[in-house]
């Protein structure tokens, strides 16, 4: 067994703490591990007590130079996410292990531009949702996936983990476990429910996952059949594939459908707190990124009702 450095050992203890005490999801813990492994690689220190201002400067420089597998630069938001994880780790060392380490509040984040939200115009959205060939089994499944994305505003990971029994067709609701393990209720439109039921009619298996691959092989599999559950990348590629075939140049992703769901609600008069609840956002400030998209409507209201001539 290899000898871990004091820093690597401390990170392992922190990840155990996140699972045992903070009830973080496996996905979150995996994200934290990858990020803190980057810190081990680029921070240039062997022990938590060696972390200093110079360490953080070196790490920030490395984040600027880092290239993804597709040779892309990290977005400022991604760089800040890595810095936030280091801050959380240092805070744990101070509060839980009573270590004397570099103060986390001295780690400053990069200045971010206001986030730009990519949404689809209604005509593009209609083209995307109509792209699957619903005379085929895969087309029926993919149509159900995209209608459910737009009906609920679910995150990709949330939609992927849905099970057949999670759908309540009587109330048209789904209870979803989101980030931080928080349960929220999302609502299914009549249209999404119709295409979900048409998809379920071709399912002759008894497997647990809602969205699966290899329908014919699945028929001979005993429940629960987790290995048949569609992967994150498969669901991501479903949206990409139909966006290409529909000729949508803005290159939408599953998250674009979530954005389109939120802006559609706001444009039609929903209040921000209700949208926050439906999206499962912890902070209202996260939901507020959508308001700039609906600002033209606010401008119209201002022109109609403010300082109008009597």
- Report the number of distinct structural domains present in the chain: 2
* Residue 303 predicted with pLDDT over 80: no
**Of the residues 50, 75, 106, which one is the last residue of a structural domain?**
106
Question: Same domain, yes or no, for 142 and 57?
Answer: no
Looking at every residue in the chain, the average pLDDT score rounds to 89
One domain, residues 144 and 284: yes
Residue-level pLDDT at 179 = 75
Q: What pLDDT is recorded for position 275?
A: 87
102 and 126 share a domain? no
258 classed as catalytic: yes
206 is a catalytic site residue: no
Annotated catalytic residue 184: no
| CATH number of the domain bearing residue 20 | 1.10.150
295 has pLDDT over 90: no
- For residues 181 and 69, state if they share a domain: no
CATH number at residue 200: 1.10.443.10
The answer to the question of residue 89 being in a domain is yes
Residues 288 and 164 in one domain: yes
Which residue in the list 24, 60, 140, 155 is annotated as catalytic? 155
Q: In whole angstroms, what is the distance from residue 103 CA to residue 115 CA?
A: 28
Q: Are residues 209 and 137 in the same domain?
A: yes
Kindly report which listed range (26-35, 65-74, 206-215, 231-240) carries the lowest average pLDDT score: 65-74
User: Is 290 a known active-site residue?
Assistant: yes
167 - beta bridge partners?
174
pLDDT band at residue 239 under the 50/70/90 scheme: very high
What is the model's pLDDT at position 273? 86
- Asked about 102 being catalytic, the answer comes back as no
Active-site residue, selected from the candidate residues 79, 82, 87, 281:
281
Long-range contacts at 37-41 (CB < 8 A, ≥ 24 apart): 37/11, 38/62, 38/66, 38/82, 39/82, 39/85, 39/86, 39/89, 40/5, 40/7, 40/8, 40/11
Residue 296 belongs to domain spanning: 122-300
**Dist CA 302 CA 144 (whole Å):** 39
Of 60, 141, 258, 259, which residue is the catalytic one? 258
Q: What is the mean pLDDT of residues 153-177?
A: 94
Which residue reads 């109509």 in tokens?
A: 130
pLDDT digits (tens, 9 = 90+) for 87-101: 999 999 999 999 999
- My answer on whether 145 and 217 are in the same domain is yes
Q: Residues 13, 81, 179, 203: which is the catalytic one?
A: 179
Q: Which of 81, 127, 255, 267 is catalytic?
A: 255
Can you read off the two tokens belonging to residue 152? 């609920």
**Alpha-carbon Rg of the chain, whole angstroms?**
23
Domain end among 76, 106, 136: 106
Is 122 designated active site? no
Same-domain status, 88 and 130? no
Same domain, 72 and 193: no
Q: Are 71 and 204 in the same domain?
A: no
* Whole-number Å distance between alpha carbons of 2 and 12: 14
The 10 Å Cβ neighbour count of residue 23 is 10
Beta bridge partners of 174: 167, 186
Does 36 map to a domain? yes
* Residues 24 and 138 both lie in one domain: no
22 and 148: one domain?
A: no
| pTM, to two decimals | 0.63
């Amino acid at each position: 067994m290899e000898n871990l450095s004091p820093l690597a050992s401390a990170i392992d203890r922190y990840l155990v703490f996140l699972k045992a005490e903070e009830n973080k999801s496996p996905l979150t813990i995996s994200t934290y591990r990858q990020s803190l492994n980057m810190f081990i690689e680029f921070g240039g220190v062997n022990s938590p007590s060696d972390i200093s201002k110079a360490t953080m400067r070196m790490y920030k420089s490395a984040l600027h130079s880092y290239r993804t597998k597709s040779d892309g630069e990290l977005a400022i938001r991604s760089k800040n996410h890595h810095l936030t994880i280091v801050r959380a780790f240092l805070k744990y060392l101070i509060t839980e292990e009573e270590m004397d380490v570099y103060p986390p509040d001295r780690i400053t984040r990069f200045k971010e531009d206001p986030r730009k939200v990519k949404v689809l115009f209604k005509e593009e959205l209609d083209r995307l949702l109509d792209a699957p060939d619903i005379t085929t089994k895969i087309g029926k499944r993919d149509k159900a996936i995209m209608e459910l994305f737009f009906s609920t505003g679910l995150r990709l990971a949330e939609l992927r983990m849905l099970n057949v029994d999670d759908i309540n067709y009587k109330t048209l609701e789904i209870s979803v476990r989101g980030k931080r393990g928080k349960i929220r209720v999302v609502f299914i439109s009549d249209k999404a429910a119709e295409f979900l039921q048409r998809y379920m009619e071709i399912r002759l298996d008894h497997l647990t996952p809602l969205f699966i691959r290899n329908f014919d092989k699945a028929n001979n599999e005993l429940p629960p059949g987790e290995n048949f559950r569609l992967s994150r990348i498969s669901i991501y590629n479903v949206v990409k594939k139909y966006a290409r075939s529909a000729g949508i140049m803005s290159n939408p992703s599953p998250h674009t459908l979530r954005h389109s769901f939120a802006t559609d609600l706001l444009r039609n008069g929903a209040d921000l707190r209700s949208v926050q609840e439906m999206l499962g956002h912890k902070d209202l400030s996260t939901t507020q990124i959508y308001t700039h998209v609906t600002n033209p409507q606010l401008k119209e209201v201002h022109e109609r009702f403010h300082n109008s001539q009597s």
